[in-house]
Amino acid sequence: MDWRAPVMDYCERQSSAFWAEPANALSNFAFVIAAASAFLLWRRRGGADYPALALIIVTASVGVGSFVFHTVATRGAKLLDVVPIAIFIYGYFLLALRRYFRLSIVWATAITLGFAAGSSFATTVDALNGSVGYLPALAALAIFAALLWTRRGQRATAHALAAAALLFAISLVFRTIDRAICPAVPLGAHVLWHMLNACVLWLLLRAAIFAGPRGDQASPIQNAKEPTAA
């Protein structure tokens, strides 16, 4: 595979020039803003939640990596776009199982690996302009929101995840129709995919931070019920 081969997947890009996708490139700063805002919230909450901090850093890297991809626009640069997104999806999935559902590390890891395997298979389906690979993440958000709605004290988290799922579904629509609307809208709709997804990640980070430890409190993950010796 030629990692230097140009990628011409979006309406806005009409050449292989570095600045051929200014809107798609600059809209990635929405992820950096989301990460910065989440970091300030993390600091106000005491700065003790290191799993959330890791996801904040990944969110910023999503913006940086996607900026590089939408400027350099090669197969190699595409890895800088998709890898941070995958890390956030699977990292948040694992954190949700531990933090929201109080699963043990063994069960949470096993379920996450199964989810990753299913998601990887979905990426091989060539449909919906490549959006099929994101449908497992959307389904997971919706299922988590529904399950948390039934748990006492988890309604706020359920609301946040449901709102994130709705925004994510809308953003997937814009990602899917990007090529189809090129003749009518030369700029395309991919820029809306970026901006809405930045809001999605912000909602998810906010939910995780508010459900996490504050100050010198012990982590809810550490407080998860584990089998004790007799």
For 22-57, what is each residue's pLDDT tens digit? 999 999 999 999 999 999 999 999 999 999 999 999
Global pTM value: 0.91
Task: Note whether residue 230 is domain-resident.
Answer: no
Q: Over the chain (230 residues), what is each successive 10-residue block's mean pLDDT?
A: 88 93 97 98 96 98 98 95 97 98 98 96 88 96 97 94 98 95 94 98 98 68 40
Range of the domain at 82: 22-211
The whole-number pLDDT of residue 191 equals 97
Q: Is 164 in contact with 204 (CB distance < 8 Å)?
A: yes
CATH of the domain at 39: 1.20.1070
The whole-number pLDDT of residue 124 equals 86
Task: Note whether residue 220 is domain-resident.
Answer: no
The whole-number pLDDT of residue 152 equals 86
Overall number of domains in the chain? 1
Task: Note whether residue 13 is domain-resident.
Answer: no
Task: Note whether residue 16 is domain-resident.
Answer: no
The whole-number pLDDT of residue 217 equals 53
Task: Note whether residue 195 is domain-resident.
Answer: yes
User: Positive or negative CA dihedral for 24, 166, 134, 176?
Assistant: negative
Task: Note whether residue 181 is domain-resident.
Answer: yes
Task: Note whether residue 134 is domain-resident.
Answer: yes
- Torsion, CA 32, CA 37, CA 39, CA 40, rounded to 10: 150
Angle ∠(27,51,204) on CA atoms, nearest 5 = 45
The whole-number pLDDT of residue 215 equals 74
Phi, psi of 16 (to 5 degrees): -90, 10
